[in-house]
A and B are shown apart, each in its own frame.
Chain A
Amino acid sequence: MKGRWVKDICPYAKDQGFNSVIGDVRPGEKIFGFTVTSTSTDMTLTLKTVTGGKVTQMHDLNYRVIPVKVDTGSVAAVAYIKTKAKTSFHLCAENNKIYDIVVIGRVLY
C-alpha cells in the first residue's frame, strides 16, 4: 500500500476538492443513486426515468442494487429486488414509502 492522496497526483481530483477517489476492481463500473417513493408493493423502476436520463441502460445484468427505507414507521417487510433487466428492475417493498436506492455496475449509456 502506497498510501498517497489522490489529490496530490490527479489534477481533476484536486480541482474538485476530492482527497481521494473510490477504487474498483472491475473495469468500467459506475455507481449511481436516486430516491423514489414507492407507488405499489411491486414497482417497476425504469433507469432512464429514475435517474433523470443520466442512465438509460446497463451493459449487462451483472449489476447490484441496494434499497433502504428512508421514511418514518418501522419496516413491515424487508425490501428486495427482482426482475433485473438492462433498462429496469422491480423494487418490492412497502407502498407509499421513500427509498434510497443505489446501483453499481457497468453502464452502457
Chain B
Amino acid sequence: MRIINRSYLSCPLIEEIHIQNVLGGCEKRQWLFGGRVSIGAGVYTKAVTFTSLTGGLVTVVDHSQIFAQKLNAAPVNKTFVTSKTGSGFTLNGDPGALYSILVLATLPTYPRATPKWAKDYCPYCKNLGFDAVIGSSLKDIAAFSGIATTSVGGTVAVAFPTLTATSGAAGVDRGSQKASLVTMMYDNEYQIILTPLDTAVTSAPYPSSITVDGFTLNGDASKSYDIFILGQIRF
C-alpha cells in the first residue's frame, strides 16, 4: 500500500511556483488545460481547436477527455461534445452562450520518442506515489474540487473557503492546518464544471455571479453537486 499523504517540502516546485501541491496523473505526458469559449449568435455549435484553447502550445493530442459547462444562464440546449479529433472538437449548446472548457489530454509520443514516468525520474514524485504529474500550458494553474448542496430554492452561494474547508464534514482528511485550502482566485477567468449527484435532475446546473471569491450554483432544490475548478489561485 502506498503512503500518499507525504509532505511536498522537498520538492523545489512547491517553493518556486505558486502552488501548494502538484496534481498527480496516471498516464505519461498528460496535460490539463481549459478556457472560455463562446458560441456565436444564431448558431448552436462551435468548432474548437486545441491550438485556440492553448494559444498554440498544444496543437495535436493522442487522446483526450473533454468537458464543457455553460456559464451565467440556464442551458436550453443541454451541453454536449461531438466530432472529437486529435486537434479539437465541436461544442454543442446555446446560441451566444459562454462555456467553461476543460481538456485532459495525452500528448502524442512524437517528437519525444521516450516519454517517462515521473516516478522513474523524480525522487519526490516517487516518494509521493505519483506515477506521473499533469502538465500545463500556463503558469501557476491549479485544480481543486469540492461538493456543494443547493437550498430549497435551488441555488447555493459557493465560497472557496467553504468549498475547501479543512474542518467539519467537508474537511475530512484534507491534510492541512489552514482554515481552508483556497481563499480566493486570482481572477474571474477560472473554469467551473458541475456534476449532479445521486438522483436525476430536472434542470442542467450552471454557475452564475462568478467572482474571485466564489460563484452561485444554480440547479435543482436540495441537490448535491460535484464541483471542479481549474484556474489561478491567489491564496
A51–B77 Cα distance when bound, in Å, is 31
Flag if A28 contacts B196 (CB, 8 Å). Answer: no
**Interface flag for B79 (CB, 8 Å):** yes
Given that A27-B5, A64-B226 are known contacts, is A82 also in contact with B198, CB under 8 Å in the complex?
A: yes
Flag if A15 contacts B116 (CB, 8 Å). Answer: yes
Q: Please name the residue on chain B nearest to A8 by beta carbon.
A: B16
**Interface flag for B138 (CB, 8 Å):** yes
Given that A12-B122, A78-B201 are known contacts, is A23 also in contact with B115, CB under 8 Å in the complex?
A: no
Stretch touching chain A among B150-158, B167-175, B207-215: B167-175
Interface size class of B (residues with CB under 8 A): 35 or more
Of A23, A28, A33, A106, the residue contacting B18 (CB under 8 A) is: A23
Given that A2-B16, A66-B195 are known contacts, is A25 also in contact with B181, CB under 8 Å in the complex?
A: yes
Flag if A16 contacts B29 (CB, 8 Å). Answer: yes
Interface size (A, Cβ < 8 Å)?
A: 65
Flag if A17 contacts B112 (CB, 8 Å). Answer: yes
**Interface flag for B39 (CB, 8 Å):** no
A105–B125 Cα distance when bound, in Å, is 16
A88–B229 Cα distance when bound, in Å, is 23
Q: Which residues of A contact B140 (CB under 8 A)?
A: 1-3, 20, 23
Of B2, B16, B228, the residue contacting A9 (CB under 8 A) is: B16
Flag if B79 contacts A25 (CB, 8 Å). Answer: no
Of A28, A31, A51, the residue contacting B4 (CB under 8 A) is: A28
Flag if B20 contacts A21 (CB, 8 Å). Answer: no
**Interface flag for B129 (CB, 8 Å):** yes
Of A3, A80, A100, A107, the residue contacting B200 (CB under 8 A) is: A80
Given that A59-B4, A70-B82 are known contacts, is A31 also in contact with B107, CB under 8 Å in the complex?
A: no
Flag if B228 contacts A64 (CB, 8 Å). Answer: yes
A108–B173 Cα distance when bound, in Å, is 14
Q: What are 14 sample pairs from A and B whose C-beta atoms fall under 8 A apart?
A: A2-B16, A6-B17, A10-B13, A10-B122, A21-B22, A21-B135, A23-B17, A23-B23, A26-B21, A29-B21, A32-B27, A62-B173, A64-B195, A70-B82
